[in-house]
Amino acid sequence: MERKKIGLALSGGGARGYAHLGVLRVLERERIPIDMAAGCSAGSIVGAAIAAGLRSDDIIRFSRNLGWFDVSGFSYSPRGLLTNEPLGRFIEKNFPLTKFEELDLPLAIVACDLATGKEVIFRNEGNVAEAVRASCAIPGVFVPVVGQDGKVLVDGGIASPMPTRAVRKLGAEKVIAVDLLTCGSVDAGTPNTLVGTFIQAAMMMIRNSSKSHHYRADVVIEPAIAHIRPDEMRRADELIELGEAAAEEKLDEIRALHEP
């Protein structure tokens, strides 16, 4: 009997996205096959890396010491304080495959149409770096990304903070969802910067919406990261460890998905 196709759905979470790498490390160690991935915001970066054939240790090696200005820069646009164009260049430099048509695995990246509030799903063709930039464009923080069709696109978490629907559309029969939002942000303390304030406020607004998407998942992993602010990139190692611990707690459920 053939096993069911397993999809990975990765939420946003700012710097908390490092926890996704801890989860991925456990899935690799346990040889749990991932057949497709969907991500929004920070989850879109990790999903794109997986689909491009990178393993968790590869991603950790070139990303653990990143700072915000390695993936962003000051903007002169009235639409946002920063631009995430450097994020696009980072992906082009470090990911071996950057076209949807070339990827090792099916990938869906979720952004939000600023005019309608509806989700926009990138898949099948086009530039992965541009799709990730759109999915990560937190309103007010980053300048929106204009798509080839003229749509003005912002952070996918606004429309679909947990991309379980998107990964189901790719053909996933079983879904592992990693939610970095529902842990809450009340324990993390007050941000010290304007950008940090914007990011934490955005995470708080979409937290409850994320939980409403859990019913489409077969396993939901929720790392205990409430004490870490979404702008604290310097805590990458701790976030990775917490992601590993959360995945290990769900191993019995995860292994059951792998059985025919």
Q: Of 41, 56, 160, 210, which residue is the catalytic one? A: 41
191: which 2 tokens? 């941000």
Q: Does 41 qualify as catalytic in the annotation?
A: yes
Q: Does 155 qualify as catalytic in the annotation?
A: yes
Q: Of 155, 179, 218, 231, which residue is the catalytic one? A: 155
Dump the DSSP string for the chain.
-PPPPEEEEE---GGGGHHHHHHHHHHHHTT----EEEEETHHHHHHHHHHTT--HHHHHHHHTT--GGGS-EE--STTEEEE-HHHHHHHHHH-S--BGGG-SS-EEEEEEETTT--EEEE-SSSBHHHHHHHHT--TEEEPPEEPTTS-EEEEGGGT-SSTHHHHHHTT-SEEEEE-SSTT-STTS---SSHHHHHHHHHHHHHHHHHHTTGGG-SEEE--S-TTS-TT-GGGHHHHHHHHHHHHHHTHHHHHHHH--
**Which residues are designated catalytic?**
41, 155
